[in-house]
Amino acid sequence: MKHIFIINGSHPFAHSGGRFNETLFSSTISYFDSFEAFEVKHTQVGDNYNTKDEVEKFKWADIVIYHTPIWWFQIPFGFKKYIDDVFTEGHQNGIYASDGRSRKNPDINYGTGGLMHGKKYILTTSWNAPKTAFTLDNEFFDQRSVDEGVMFGFHKMNAFTGMELLATHHFHDMEKNADVPYELHNYSTFLNEIKLKL
């Protein structure tokens, strides 16, 4: 049985109610709950949580699924706080042992002290920016993809813990021009493809 840990990094703030990510979060839980081959745990970062319990969820998981909107080209502040709190609690307790370097040769092996080798993660992001902002010449993101640009640091953070990227799925133009049924249909197809890899 595969252990799936699903995290909703969205929380209400200002004009962002977090409804789309809440829908994704609920859909993902329901999807994996419907198969006997998977056991699911989940966290909503906007709710109260215990950092020790959250570390145990990471240690338990085979697959971590992150859902997050992007606010001002970063993850929401509540999600960042969650990661800071939980990963710090996981120091020498299942998430990472050190930065991987030794005092004898501190110039090499940075980022190799993770304790979550063998685990994989999935990332979904939702954007106001249209997909063309990333792909067209002379548009805002200079033809850098989400994963190679804004989310590069997020991926390196997970690599630091020892986790390996399984897949990403990005939702664009979700504020001004969202077609939610279409996006959820595509996401369902994505989950079906992921399930075949697990």
Q: Evaluate whether 136 touches 78 at the Cβ level (below 8 Å).
A: no
Confidence category of residue 55, pLDDT binned at 50, 70, 90? very high
Beta bridge partners of 38: 2
The tokens describing 98, both together, are: 């050190």
Per-residue model confidence (pLDDT) at position 118 = 97
Share of the chain above pLDDT 90, in %: 93
- CATH number, domain 2-197: 3.40.50.360
Helix, strand, coil distribution of the chain in percent, nearest 5: 35, 20, 45
Confidence category of residue 14, pLDDT binned at 50, 70, 90? confident
Each as own residue / partner, the long-range contacts of residues 34-38 (CB below 8 Å, 24 or more positions apart, any chain) are: 35/195, 36/1, 37/1, 37/2, 37/198, 38/1, 38/2, 38/3, 38/4, 38/198
Q: Evaluate whether 27 touches 187 at the Cβ level (below 8 Å).
A: yes
Find the mean pLDDT for residues 64-73.
97
Which segment of 8-22, 58-72, 93-107, 153-167 scores lowest on mean pLDDT?
A: 8-22
Domain boundaries, the chain: 2-197
Q: Is the dihedral of CA 123, 186, 16, 145 positive or negative?
A: positive
